[in-house]
Amino acid sequence: ELMTEGLLRELMRGLQDTRKKAGLKVGEAVELAYATDRKDLSELIEGEKQNIQAAGHFKSIQKEHSLQGEELFKGSLTVAIRR
């Protein structure tokens, strides 16, 4: 459980950095797409989807098979923000 909490914190930090790089305003709602082959990251995102959406101001979170975007977790997770 501590490992999961640590992954979630690191994920949220990375998503906030991605929002900042995209030039989004605080509270601006956008869509998030992600791609990963790591089962633990996929399960974390799906299991915490509502919390991630609320905290990150995401209208939706969608998993995709391949994606161009910001790499997190040393390339294990790719995320893209869509307005």
C-alpha–C-alpha distance, residues 2 and 78, integer Å: 23
Does the pTM surpass 0.75? The reply is yes
Which positions ≥6 away from 42 have C-beta within 8 Å? 36, 63
C-alpha–C-alpha distance, residues 66 and 59, integer Å: 21
Report the pLDDT value the prediction gives residue 13, as an integer from 0 to 100. Answer: 98
**In the chain, beta strands by DSSP E:** 30-36, 58-63, 70-72, 77-82
Reported as a single tens digit per residue, the pLDDT across 4-60 is 999 999 999 999 999 999 999 999 999 999 999 999 999 999 999 999 999 999 999
Report the pLDDT value the prediction gives residue 1, as an integer from 0 to 100. Answer: 85
Report the pLDDT value the prediction gives residue 45, as an integer from 0 to 100. Answer: 98
Which positions ≥6 away from 31 have C-beta within 8 Å? 58, 59, 60, 61, 62, 81, 82, 83
Reported as a single tens digit per residue, the pLDDT across 62-82 is 999 999 999 999 999 999 999
